[in-house]
Amino acid sequence: MWLLLLAVLALLLLYRWYRQSQILDNLTDKYVFITGCDSGFGNLLAKQLDKRGIWVLAACLTETGAANLKKESSSRLQTVILDVSNSQSVNSAGQWVSQIVGDRGLWGLVNNAGISGPVAPIGWLKNDDFLKPLKVNLLGMIDVTLTLLPLIRRARGRIVNVSSILGRIALVPGGYTISKFGVEAFSDTLRREVVDFGVNVSIVEPGGFNTAIMDLPLYEKNIKERWERLPAETKKSYGEQYIKQLIQYMRTAISAGSFKIFKVTNCMEHALTACYPWTRYSAGWDAKLFLMPLSYMPTVIGDLIARRNFPRPT
Protein backbone atom coordinates (compact mmCIF):
# COMPACT_ATOMS: atom_id res chain seq x y z
CA MET A 1 0.00 0.00 0.00
CA TRP A 2 2.74 2.44 1.00
CA LEU A 3 4.74 1.63 -2.11
CA LEU A 4 1.70 2.40 -4.26
CA LEU A 5 1.18 5.76 -2.53
CA LEU A 6 4.86 6.64 -2.95
CA ALA A 7 4.69 5.70 -6.62
CA VAL A 8 1.63 7.90 -7.16
CA LEU A 9 3.31 10.79 -5.32
CA ALA A 10 6.46 10.37 -7.43
CA LEU A 11 4.40 10.41 -10.63
CA LEU A 12 2.55 13.54 -9.51
CA LEU A 13 5.83 15.32 -8.73
CA LEU A 14 7.29 14.22 -12.06
CA TYR A 15 4.22 15.51 -13.90
CA ARG A 16 4.38 18.78 -11.98
CA TRP A 17 8.06 19.22 -12.83
CA TYR A 18 7.46 18.44 -16.51
CA ARG A 19 4.50 20.83 -16.76
CA GLN A 20 6.36 23.70 -15.09
CA SER A 21 9.46 23.18 -17.24
CA GLN A 22 7.58 23.88 -20.47
CA ILE A 23 8.73 27.25 -21.86
CA LEU A 24 7.09 29.32 -24.59
CA ASP A 25 8.54 29.59 -28.07
CA ASN A 26 9.27 32.86 -29.88
CA LEU A 27 10.24 34.77 -26.75
CA THR A 28 12.32 37.14 -28.88
CA ASP A 29 9.10 38.51 -30.37
CA LYS A 30 7.72 39.62 -27.01
CA TYR A 31 7.81 42.95 -25.16
CA VAL A 32 7.90 43.17 -21.35
CA PHE A 33 7.46 46.38 -19.35
CA ILE A 34 9.06 46.43 -15.87
CA THR A 35 8.71 49.15 -13.24
CA GLY A 36 11.32 49.99 -10.60
CA CYS A 37 14.43 49.10 -12.62
CA ASP A 38 16.91 51.47 -10.94
CA SER A 39 18.11 48.72 -8.61
CA GLY A 40 17.11 45.51 -6.86
CA PHE A 41 14.69 43.01 -8.38
CA GLY A 42 13.64 45.15 -11.33
CA ASN A 43 17.21 45.94 -12.35
CA LEU A 44 18.28 42.30 -12.28
CA LEU A 45 15.14 41.08 -14.05
CA ALA A 46 15.61 43.61 -16.87
CA LYS A 47 19.14 42.33 -17.52
CA GLN A 48 18.02 38.71 -17.12
CA LEU A 49 15.26 39.00 -19.72
CA ASP A 50 17.47 41.05 -22.03
CA LYS A 51 19.99 38.20 -22.13
CA ARG A 52 17.16 35.88 -23.21
CA GLY A 53 16.48 38.08 -26.20
CA ILE A 54 13.20 39.54 -24.91
CA TRP A 55 12.47 43.17 -25.75
CA VAL A 56 12.64 44.87 -22.35
CA LEU A 57 10.99 48.22 -21.66
CA ALA A 58 12.51 49.26 -18.35
CA ALA A 59 10.96 52.03 -16.26
CA CYS A 60 13.35 53.82 -13.89
CA LEU A 61 12.68 56.56 -11.38
CA THR A 62 15.92 58.43 -12.09
CA GLU A 63 18.01 59.33 -15.13
CA THR A 64 21.06 57.88 -13.38
CA GLY A 65 19.36 54.53 -12.87
CA ALA A 66 18.29 54.42 -16.51
CA ALA A 67 21.75 55.33 -17.79
CA ASN A 68 23.48 52.70 -15.64
CA LEU A 69 21.04 49.99 -16.75
CA LYS A 70 21.54 50.79 -20.43
CA LYS A 71 25.31 50.51 -20.01
CA GLU A 72 24.90 46.94 -18.77
CA SER A 73 22.35 45.81 -21.36
CA SER A 74 22.01 45.25 -25.09
CA SER A 75 20.63 47.74 -27.58
CA ARG A 76 17.24 45.96 -27.42
CA LEU A 77 16.56 47.27 -23.93
CA GLN A 78 14.87 50.67 -23.80
CA THR A 79 14.26 52.84 -20.76
CA VAL A 80 11.73 55.44 -19.70
CA ILE A 81 11.50 57.64 -16.62
CA LEU A 82 8.46 56.77 -14.52
CA ASP A 83 7.10 57.79 -11.14
CA VAL A 84 4.26 55.33 -10.55
CA SER A 85 2.74 57.60 -7.91
CA ASN A 86 2.23 60.35 -10.53
CA SER A 87 -0.69 59.72 -12.92
CA GLN A 88 0.69 62.11 -15.52
CA SER A 89 3.98 60.21 -15.53
CA VAL A 90 2.09 56.91 -15.83
CA ASN A 91 0.03 58.16 -18.78
CA SER A 92 3.14 59.42 -20.52
CA ALA A 93 4.88 56.06 -20.06
CA GLY A 94 1.76 54.29 -21.31
CA GLN A 95 1.78 56.29 -24.53
CA TRP A 96 5.49 55.54 -24.96
CA VAL A 97 4.87 51.80 -24.58
CA SER A 98 1.93 51.90 -26.99
CA GLN A 99 4.01 53.57 -29.69
CA ILE A 100 6.70 50.91 -29.37
CA VAL A 101 4.59 47.73 -29.24
CA GLY A 102 1.92 48.85 -31.70
CA ASP A 103 -0.56 46.19 -32.83
CA ARG A 104 1.49 43.39 -31.27
CA GLY A 105 0.45 44.50 -27.82
CA LEU A 106 2.39 44.10 -24.59
CA TRP A 107 3.20 40.54 -23.58
CA GLY A 108 4.33 41.19 -20.02
CA LEU A 109 3.88 43.76 -17.28
CA VAL A 110 5.92 43.41 -14.10
CA ASN A 111 4.70 45.73 -11.35
CA ASN A 112 7.88 45.77 -9.29
CA ALA A 113 8.30 49.40 -8.15
CA GLY A 114 7.97 49.74 -4.40
CA ILE A 115 9.11 51.52 -1.26
CA SER A 116 9.19 50.41 2.35
CA GLY A 117 7.95 53.64 3.88
CA PRO A 118 8.49 54.41 7.57
CA VAL A 119 8.74 51.29 9.72
CA ALA A 120 7.86 52.45 13.22
CA PRO A 121 5.24 51.79 15.89
CA ILE A 122 1.81 52.82 14.62
CA GLY A 123 1.47 55.22 17.52
CA TRP A 124 4.42 57.20 16.14
CA LEU A 125 3.06 57.54 12.60
CA LYS A 126 0.93 60.11 10.81
CA ASN A 127 -1.57 59.67 8.01
CA ASP A 128 1.01 60.68 5.38
CA ASP A 129 3.33 57.90 6.55
CA PHE A 130 0.72 55.39 5.39
CA LEU A 131 -0.14 57.26 2.19
CA LYS A 132 3.41 57.18 0.76
CA PRO A 133 3.79 53.38 0.45
CA LEU A 134 0.13 53.04 -0.53
CA LYS A 135 0.58 55.50 -3.41
CA VAL A 136 3.61 53.66 -4.79
CA ASN A 137 3.07 50.01 -3.87
CA LEU A 138 -0.69 49.75 -4.42
CA LEU A 139 -2.29 52.77 -6.11
CA GLY A 140 0.69 53.18 -8.46
CA MET A 141 0.48 49.50 -9.38
CA ILE A 142 -3.22 49.85 -10.09
CA ASP A 143 -2.65 52.98 -12.21
CA VAL A 144 0.05 51.32 -14.32
CA THR A 145 -2.02 48.16 -14.77
CA LEU A 146 -5.17 49.99 -15.86
CA THR A 147 -3.17 52.15 -18.27
CA LEU A 148 -1.49 49.18 -19.97
CA LEU A 149 -4.30 46.63 -19.69
CA PRO A 150 -5.66 47.20 -23.23
CA LEU A 151 -2.19 46.45 -24.64
CA ILE A 152 -1.90 43.31 -22.49
CA ARG A 153 -5.33 42.08 -23.57
CA ARG A 154 -4.28 42.60 -27.20
CA ALA A 155 -1.30 40.30 -26.72
CA ARG A 156 -3.16 37.88 -24.40
CA GLY A 157 -0.18 38.42 -22.14
CA ARG A 158 0.96 38.22 -18.55
CA ILE A 159 0.80 40.48 -15.48
CA VAL A 160 3.24 39.85 -12.63
CA ASN A 161 2.58 41.75 -9.42
CA VAL A 162 5.31 41.86 -6.79
CA SER A 163 3.73 41.51 -3.37
CA SER A 164 5.50 40.19 -0.27
CA ILE A 165 5.10 37.39 2.20
CA LEU A 166 4.09 40.29 4.48
CA GLY A 167 1.02 40.58 2.28
CA ARG A 168 -0.13 37.38 3.95
CA ILE A 169 0.95 37.95 7.54
CA ALA A 170 1.49 41.36 9.15
CA LEU A 171 4.78 41.26 11.05
CA VAL A 172 5.93 44.89 10.83
CA PRO A 173 3.94 48.08 11.46
CA GLY A 174 3.48 50.83 8.90
CA GLY A 175 2.05 51.28 5.44
CA TYR A 176 4.22 48.72 3.66
CA THR A 177 2.39 45.66 4.99
CA ILE A 178 -1.00 47.28 4.42
CA SER A 179 -0.10 48.07 0.82
CA LYS A 180 0.99 44.48 0.18
CA PHE A 181 -2.27 43.10 1.56
CA GLY A 182 -3.93 45.40 -0.98
CA VAL A 183 -1.73 44.04 -3.78
CA GLU A 184 -2.92 40.53 -2.96
CA ALA A 185 -6.58 41.56 -3.11
CA PHE A 186 -6.15 43.55 -6.33
CA SER A 187 -4.27 40.70 -8.01
CA ASP A 188 -6.85 38.09 -7.06
CA THR A 189 -9.82 40.09 -8.34
CA LEU A 190 -7.94 41.11 -11.49
CA ARG A 191 -6.94 37.50 -12.25
CA ARG A 192 -10.54 36.30 -12.14
CA GLU A 193 -11.64 39.05 -14.50
CA VAL A 194 -8.95 38.96 -17.20
CA VAL A 195 -8.70 35.17 -17.53
CA ASP A 196 -11.56 35.36 -20.04
CA PHE A 197 -9.31 37.51 -22.23
CA GLY A 198 -6.48 34.98 -22.14
CA VAL A 199 -4.47 37.10 -19.70
CA ASN A 200 -2.63 35.47 -16.79
CA VAL A 201 -1.95 37.21 -13.45
CA SER A 202 0.77 35.95 -11.11
CA ILE A 203 1.80 37.17 -7.67
CA VAL A 204 5.40 36.97 -6.45
CA GLU A 205 5.75 36.94 -2.65
CA PRO A 206 9.41 37.36 -1.64
CA GLY A 207 10.58 36.60 1.85
CA GLY A 208 13.48 38.52 3.39
CA PHE A 209 15.91 39.78 0.74
CA ASN A 210 18.52 42.52 0.87
CA THR A 211 17.74 45.17 -1.74
CA ALA A 212 17.97 48.94 -1.92
CA ILE A 213 14.40 49.18 -0.60
CA MET A 214 15.66 49.43 2.99
CA ASP A 215 18.69 51.60 3.75
CA LEU A 216 19.64 50.88 7.38
CA PRO A 217 21.65 54.08 8.09
CA LEU A 218 18.82 56.18 6.66
CA TYR A 219 16.29 54.23 8.69
CA GLU A 220 18.23 54.78 11.91
CA LYS A 221 18.49 58.50 11.18
CA ASN A 222 14.76 58.82 10.44
CA ILE A 223 13.64 56.79 13.44
CA LYS A 224 15.80 58.86 15.82
CA GLU A 225 14.41 62.11 14.37
CA ARG A 226 10.88 60.73 14.69
CA TRP A 227 11.54 59.82 18.33
CA GLU A 228 12.74 63.34 19.10
CA ARG A 229 9.51 64.81 17.69
CA LEU A 230 7.25 62.62 19.80
CA PRO A 231 5.28 64.21 22.66
CA ALA A 232 6.81 63.75 26.10
CA GLU A 233 3.85 61.61 27.18
CA THR A 234 4.40 59.19 24.26
CA LYS A 235 8.12 58.89 25.04
CA LYS A 236 7.30 58.15 28.65
CA SER A 237 4.80 55.46 27.61
CA TYR A 238 7.33 53.58 25.48
CA GLY A 239 10.40 54.16 27.65
CA GLU A 240 13.88 55.42 26.75
CA GLN A 241 15.19 51.92 25.96
CA TYR A 242 12.53 51.26 23.35
CA ILE A 243 14.20 53.13 20.49
CA LYS A 244 17.50 51.31 21.04
CA GLN A 245 15.72 47.97 20.98
CA LEU A 246 13.79 48.99 17.86
CA ILE A 247 16.96 49.92 15.94
CA GLN A 248 18.62 46.67 17.01
CA TYR A 249 15.55 44.73 15.89
CA MET A 250 15.70 46.32 12.43
CA ARG A 251 19.46 45.72 12.17
CA THR A 252 18.92 42.04 12.90
CA ALA A 253 15.99 41.74 10.50
CA ILE A 254 17.77 43.47 7.61
CA SER A 255 21.09 41.65 8.10
CA ALA A 256 19.22 38.33 8.02
CA GLY A 257 17.92 39.06 4.52
CA SER A 258 19.29 37.00 1.65
CA PHE A 259 21.44 38.58 -1.07
CA LYS A 260 20.35 35.89 -3.54
CA ILE A 261 17.77 38.11 -5.22
CA PHE A 262 17.93 35.96 -8.34
CA LYS A 263 15.54 33.64 -6.50
CA VAL A 264 12.91 36.36 -6.86
CA THR A 265 13.72 37.30 -10.46
CA ASN A 266 13.69 33.63 -11.47
CA CYS A 267 10.10 33.47 -10.24
CA MET A 268 9.25 36.56 -12.27
CA GLU A 269 10.91 35.12 -15.36
CA HIS A 270 9.01 31.84 -15.02
CA ALA A 271 5.72 33.71 -14.70
CA LEU A 272 6.50 35.52 -17.97
CA THR A 273 7.96 32.69 -20.02
CA ALA A 274 6.38 29.41 -18.83
CA CYS A 275 3.58 27.75 -20.74
CA TYR A 276 1.85 27.12 -17.42
CA PRO A 277 2.78 29.91 -14.97
CA TRP A 278 1.89 29.61 -11.32
CA THR A 279 -0.69 31.81 -9.66
CA ARG A 280 1.64 32.48 -6.72
CA TYR A 281 5.38 32.26 -6.23
CA SER A 282 6.95 32.25 -2.76
CA ALA A 283 10.62 33.20 -3.05
CA GLY A 284 13.06 32.29 -0.31
CA TRP A 285 13.19 29.43 2.18
CA ASP A 286 12.00 31.69 5.01
CA ALA A 287 8.83 32.37 3.04
CA LYS A 288 8.27 28.75 1.99
CA LEU A 289 9.06 26.94 5.23
CA PHE A 290 8.22 29.45 7.97
CA LEU A 291 6.22 32.54 7.08
CA MET A 292 3.82 30.92 4.62
CA PRO A 293 2.85 28.11 7.03
CA LEU A 294 2.64 30.69 9.82
CA SER A 295 0.03 32.63 7.84
CA TYR A 296 -2.27 29.60 8.00
CA MET A 297 -1.91 29.03 11.73
CA PRO A 298 -4.37 30.26 14.36
CA THR A 299 -4.10 33.99 15.04
CA VAL A 300 -2.93 33.45 18.61
CA ILE A 301 0.16 31.60 17.36
CA GLY A 302 0.97 34.29 14.82
CA ASP A 303 0.61 36.95 17.50
CA LEU A 304 2.93 35.13 19.88
CA ILE A 305 5.65 34.70 17.27
CA ALA A 306 5.32 38.25 15.93
CA ARG A 307 5.63 39.70 19.45
CA ARG A 308 8.45 37.42 20.52
CA ASN A 309 11.32 39.56 19.24
CA PHE A 310 9.64 42.90 18.56
CA PRO A 311 10.50 45.58 21.16
CA ARG A 312 8.03 46.21 23.94
CA PRO A 313 7.43 49.32 26.05
CA THR A 314 9.47 49.39 29.26
SS3 118: coil
Q: Which residues pair with 31 in a beta bridge?
A: 55
Told to judge if 176 belongs to the known catalytic residues of this protein, a careful annotator would answer yes
Confidence at residue 18, expressed as pLDDT on a 0 to 100 scale: 67
Q: Identity (one letter) of the amino acid at 13?
A: L
Confidence at residue 134, expressed as pLDDT on a 0 to 100 scale: 95
Confidence at residue 68, expressed as pLDDT on a 0 to 100 scale: 95
Confidence at residue 214, expressed as pLDDT on a 0 to 100 scale: 54
Choose the catalytic residue: 18, 31, 176, 281: 176
What is the fold of 25-214+258-306?
Answer: Rossmann fold (3.40.50)
Confidence at residue 314, expressed as pLDDT on a 0 to 100 scale: 73
Residue 193: C-alpha distances to residues 109, 153, 186, 201, 234 (Å) = 16, 11, 11, 10, 47
Confidence at residue 107, expressed as pLDDT on a 0 to 100 scale: 96
- Cα three-residue angle 306-261-286, rounded to 5 degrees: 30
What counts of helices (H) and strands (E) characterise the chain?
A: 14, 7
Confidence at residue 56, expressed as pLDDT on a 0 to 100 scale: 97
Task: Quick: pLDDT tens for 23-60.
Answer: 788 888 999 999 999 998 999 999 999 999 999 999 99
Task: Determine which helix (DSSP H) or strand (DSSP E) holds 204, and give its type and residue range.
Answer: strand 200-206
Confidence at residue 171, expressed as pLDDT on a 0 to 100 scale: 83
- Please identify every stretch of the chain with a pLDDT value under 70, giving residue numbers as ranges: 4, 7-8, 15, 18, 212-215, 256-257, 309
Query: For residue 309, what are the contacts with CB-CB under 8 A and spacing of at least 6?
Result: 249, 252
Confidence at residue 286, expressed as pLDDT on a 0 to 100 scale: 80
